[in-house]
């Protein structure tokens, strides 16, 4: 069986964190389809990369990136829809992913051209949001005692 039974009823965190995870899945799947589907993978038309040298290698790298993004995005979507107790873990993995992207894109492996594709700005915005939604996902609902 590919999909075990859903365990959503065991999730104790904030519903907003699950919605954010679902949104994260969608904004992961959409670029995946672009990177895999466009002839240049978005390298030239979106990222503005100079394709005059090694274009086939760049296209292959973007297609590979799109394939891995698609698998990852579908996994995030499955968690948001069926396996919500894994929400905090998936958001934490996404935080690591985005922190590494920010470090690479802006400091460690920056192209030095001053040009930043849309995903690099998305990573900057997502880091504080991920921290907030991880905190909400791990916060336990308090039982209200009406006695």
Give the burial string for 49-59 (b: 16+ CB within 10 Å, else e): beeeeeeeebb
pLDDT at residue 105 in the model: 77
pLDDT at residue 133 in the model: 97
Per-residue pLDDT tens digits for 9-27 = 999 999 999 999 999 999 9
Per-residue pLDDT tens digits for 47-79 = 777 888 889 998 998 899 999 999 999 999 999
Q: How far apart are CA 61 and CA 69, in angstroms?
A: 12
Does residue 107 lie within any of the structural domains? yes
Q: How far apart are CA 118 and CA 3, in angstroms?
A: 33
Residues in the chain, how many? 147
The answer, as to whether pTM is greater than 0.85, is: no
Does residue 145 lie within any of the structural domains? no
Range of the domain at 120: 11-138
Does residue 76 lie within any of the structural domains? yes
pLDDT at residue 111 in the model: 60
Q: pLDDT class for 114, splitting at 50, 70, 90?
A: low
pLDDT at residue 116 in the model: 65
Q: pLDDT class for 121, splitting at 50, 70, 90?
A: confident
Of residues 115 and 67, the one with the higher pLDDT is 67
Check if the beta carbon of residue 25 is closer than 8 Å to that of residue 126: no
Does residue 29 lie within any of the structural domains? yes
Does residue 92 lie within any of the structural domains? yes
Check if the beta carbon of residue 6 is closer than 8 Å to that of residue 82: yes
Does residue 55 lie within any of the structural domains? yes
pLDDT value at 107 more than 90: no
Q: How many domains does the chain have?
A: 1
pLDDT at residue 84 in the model: 96
Does residue 15 lie within any of the structural domains? yes
3-state secondary structure of 41: coil
Check if the beta carbon of residue 6 is closer than 8 Å to that of residue 123: no
């Amino acid at each position: 069986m590919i999909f075990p039974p859903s365990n959503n009823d065991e999730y104790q965190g904030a519903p907003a964190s699950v919605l954010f995870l679902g949104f994260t899945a969608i904004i992961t799947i959409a670029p995946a389809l672009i990177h895999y589907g466009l002839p240049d993978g978005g390298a030239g038309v979106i990222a503005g990369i100079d394709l005059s040298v090694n274009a086939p290698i760049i296209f292959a790298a973007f297609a590979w990136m799109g394939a891995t993004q698609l698998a990852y995005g579908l996994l995030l979507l499955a968690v948001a829809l069926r396996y919500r107790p894994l929400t905090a873990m998936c958001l934490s993995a996404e935080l690591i992913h985005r922190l590494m992207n920010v470090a690479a894109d802006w400091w460690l492996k920056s192209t030095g051209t001053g040009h930043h594709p849309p995903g690099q700005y998305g990573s900057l915005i997502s880091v504080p949001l991920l921290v907030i939604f991880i905190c909400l996902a791990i916060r336990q609902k308090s039982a209200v005692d009406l006695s």
